[in-house]
Amino acid sequence: MEAPETLLFTNLGEFLPGSVEEVIRRDAPPELYRNQFLVDEMMNLNMIDTIGSGIKRMFETQRQRNFPMPDYELNEPGSVKVRIIGKVVDKKYTRMLVAKSDLELMDVVALDKIQKGDRSRLVNSNG
């Protein structure tokens, strides 16, 4: 789905890495794939990222642009959704990101949840 300043991607199946925060923290490819043969062939053809950094890179790109972090919806069984917002949501948040460019990515993720009013899923960046 596409809307002005927002993209929504959906995929059937479970989010195999478990949590988005774990993927960002580990910054390593997943150890489990749904179809290993398909993954191997797509890597051989240079069709996919072989180092497994796509999710973290997406978060870093949004951070560099001072835009909100991607929103993953993993609560519906058998479905993964990710929403990417291409605009400033809260000017104070954006000014803070510009002023504090040395923040750890997990801290930026936590602050992003606060700007969006989602304090229920805050994750401690230390563990």
Q: Which residue has the tokens 């490819």?
A: 29
d(CA 114, CA 36): 38
DSSP secondary structure string for all residues of 5-45: TEEEEEEES--TTS-HHHHHHH-S--S--S-HHHHHHHHHT
The answer to whether 88 touches 67, Cβ cutoff 8 Å, is yes
Look at the alpha carbons of 59, 61, 64, 68 in this order and tell me if their dihedral is positive or negative. Answer: negative
Q: Which pLDDT tens digit goes with each residue over 21-63? A: 888 887 666 666 667 777 777 777 776 665 566 788 889 999 9
- Which DSSP category does 89 fall into? S
Question: Given a cut of 70, is residue 4 above it in pLDDT?
Answer: yes
Higher pLDDT, 2 or 20: 20
CA atoms within 13 Å, Cβ hemisphere of 51: 5
